[in-house]
């Protein structure tokens, strides 16, 4: 590892030189831990094969600030979720790399999808054939080979590779790294029965989970969190005394039964059951301790989880009989109530929830509806905020080819129906960037005009701020104006003003209809 890019070219060893071994046991992946590194410092690194001239490109990383220390400047994150290879190019990963605009990447899951071409969404086509992005292997992943091959293929995308090369990544899985809508005993597509075993490649739920998890830990830049608990990925990172990043697993770890599509009414009926947990009792108790203990050591608590936390009436999509998405926190109301009770009872300020999974953008005040008074206009009564981002390429949850007009109409309905929801946007694929400082957290959401070709185009859709100690979105929310989507009490001013991150040039771009 080196202190400067020039040191690599000049052959200067600054930090350390390590020898690493690999084999087929780990799919010929290599991980090296740097030693005796300075906090909050950029380092460059390079691999070579057996001291030969066969060398890797030069990579760059950054260490974290030391726990409890003052951070000398704001920290910037890019937040991602849901990248589906046959649905488009991963341009969203490359844009911050081209801008060099962040310090760290936070990925909330669905880094890969397990389906074969055309299997997702149900009856969907994707564009894998036309873009030469057919999944490998071209079948649903079940075996260790399948998951390893799929992860390797995703890493062939040049923008994803560039992002890994320039930034340190903090990741957690969602469901599709393993299988759709999993819980402790099964998933939407399989369960622990003889019939399922025969139908699904002669593999059990647990074996499939272990295959997926093993490949994930081989390919992703993280240590196995607990050598005695293969399914544990939940952990936390302390960025000086500025913020504690708490990464949850709300998908695979000891989760109570979820909506499996055929049992929606049943899960609706039991959604308030106090015994239900989105994450299992061990992780849940750890989570509450993290919230409480960090309140006295860091300014902010940033919670990286997979699914939308806020209560969200979505009957415009789901119908009046089962109006909520019971695969989200809405299916685990008691778990959400326990979380909110922890925040209120311990007077914990400055909490920011992050979410992905939904293939749409949602920005909300964090409120305990029905228990605490809340004023949607002023934000009074809120205990924090939630920033939930859209997908890198996965199709809109409102429809694979939704038009901008239909997307705006749905967003307007949702912001009217949900008092805490301040902004909603269905149309664009993209990501968001966060700037975290002692006095405020800012989030800017970016949409991609097109991802059917590889390019560096992006549109800034909306910008939001939460001030330290206020526990709500700053009013007027979004500065009273957004580029797209529906802003409660504000206006939408669509300009299509587009930044080409390849050149830094700005132009007006008419969006494609890739939803």
Pairing mode, strands 430-436 and 75-80 = antiparallel
Cβ atoms of 491 and 428 within 8 Å: the answer is: no
Q: Which domains does the chain have, with CATH numbers?
A: 1-63 (no CATH), 64-508 (3.60.21.70)
- Predicted local distance difference test score (pLDDT) of residue 261: 93
- Alpha carbon distance 286, 290 (integer Å): 6
**Cα 427 to chain centroid, rounded:** 18
pLDDT at residue number 191: 83
Helix axes 281-294, 333-345, angle to 10 degrees: 20
pLDDT of res. 515: 41
Rounded CA-CA distance 117/138 in Å is 6
In eight-state DSSP terms, residue 25 is G
CA distance 388 to 359: 9
In this structure, what DSSP letter does residue 333 have?
Answer: H
pLDDT of residue 433: 99
Place of tokens 């074996």: 207
pLDDT at residue 10, as a whole number: 62
pLDDT at residue 321, as a whole number: 84
Q: What is the pLDDT of residue 15?
A: 62
- Residue pLDDT tens, the chain, 515 long: 666 666 665 656 566 678 899 999 999 999 988 889 999 999 999 999 988 999 999 999 999 999 999 999 999 999 999 999 999 999 999 999 999 999 999 999 999 999 999 888 765 666 788 899 999 999 999 999 999 999 999 999 999 999 999 999 999 999 999 999 999 999 998 887 778 777 777 899 999 999 999 999 999 999 999 999 999 999 999 999 999 999 999 999 999 999 999 999 999 999 999 999 999 999 999 999 999 999 999 999 999 999 999 999 998 877 888 889 999 999 999 999 999 999 999 999 999 999 999 999 999 999 999 999 999 999 999 999 999 999 999 999 998 889 999 999 999 999 999 999 999 999 999 999 999 999 999 999 999 999 999 999 999 999 999 999 999 999 999 999 999 999 999 999 999 999 999 999 999 987 554 44
């Amino acid at each position: 590892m080196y202190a400067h890019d020039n040191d690599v070219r000049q052959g200067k060893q600054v930090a350390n030189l390590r020898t690493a071994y690999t084999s087929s046991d780990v799919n010929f992946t290599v991980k090296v831990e740097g030693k005796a590194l300075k906090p909050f410092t950029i380092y460059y690194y390079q691999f070579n094969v057996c001291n030969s001239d066969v060398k890797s490109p030069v990579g760059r990383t950054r260490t974290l600030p030391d726990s409890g220390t003052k951070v000398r400047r704001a920290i910037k994150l890019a937040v991602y979720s849901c990248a589906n290879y046959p649905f488009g190019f991963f341009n969203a990963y490359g844009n911050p790399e081209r801008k060099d605009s962040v310090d760290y990447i936070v990925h909330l899951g669905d880094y890969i999808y397990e389906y074969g071409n055309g299997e997702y969404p149900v009856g969907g086509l994707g564009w894998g054939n036309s873009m030469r992005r057919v999944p490998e292997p071209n079948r649903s992943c079940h075996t260790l080979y399948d998951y390893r091959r799929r992860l390797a293929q995703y890493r062939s995308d040049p923008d994803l590779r560039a992002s890994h090369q320039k930034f340190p990544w903090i990741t957690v899985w969602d469901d599709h790294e393993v299988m759709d809508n999993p819980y402790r005993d099964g998933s939407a597509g399989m369960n622990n029965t003889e019939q399922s075993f025969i139908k699904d490649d002669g593999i059990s739920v647990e074996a499939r989970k272990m295959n997926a998890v093993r490949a994930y830990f081989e390919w992703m830049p993280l240590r196995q969190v607990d050598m005695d608990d293969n399914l544990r990925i939940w952990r936390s990172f302390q960025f000086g005394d500025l913020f504690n990043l708490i990464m949850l697993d709300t998908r695979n770890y000891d989760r109570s039964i979820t909506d499996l599509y055929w049992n929606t009414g049943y899960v609706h009926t039991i959604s308030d059951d106090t015994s239900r947990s989105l994450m299992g009792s061990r992780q849940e108790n750890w989570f509450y301790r993290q919230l409480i203990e960090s309140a006295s050591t860091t300014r902010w608590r940033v919670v990286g989880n997979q699914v939308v936390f806020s209560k969200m009436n979505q009957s415009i999509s789901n119908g009046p009989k089962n109006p909520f998405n019971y695969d989200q926190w809405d299916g685990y109301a008691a778990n959400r109530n326990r979380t909110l009770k922890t925040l209120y009872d311990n007077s914990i300020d400055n909490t920011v929830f992050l979410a992905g999974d939904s293939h749409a953008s949602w920005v909300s005040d964090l409120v305990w509806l029905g228990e605490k008074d809340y004023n949607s206009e002023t934000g009074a009564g809120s205990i924090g905020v939630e920033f939930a981002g859209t997908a890198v390429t996965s199709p809109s949850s409102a429809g694979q080819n939704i038009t901008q007009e239909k997307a705006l109409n749905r967003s307007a309905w949702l912001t009217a129906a949900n008092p805490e929801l301040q902004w909603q946007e269905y149309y664009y694929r993209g990501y968001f960037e966060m700037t975290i400082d002692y006095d405020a957290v800012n989030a800017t959401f970016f949409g991609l005009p097109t991802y059917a070709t590889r390019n560096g185009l992006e549109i800034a859709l909306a910008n939001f701020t939460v001030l330290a100690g206020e526990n709500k979105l700053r009013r007027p929310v979004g500065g009273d104006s957004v580029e797209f989507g529906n802003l409660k009490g504000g206006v939408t001013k669509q300009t299509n003003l587009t930044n080409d991150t390849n050149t830094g040039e700005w132009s007006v771009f008419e969006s494609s209809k890739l939803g």
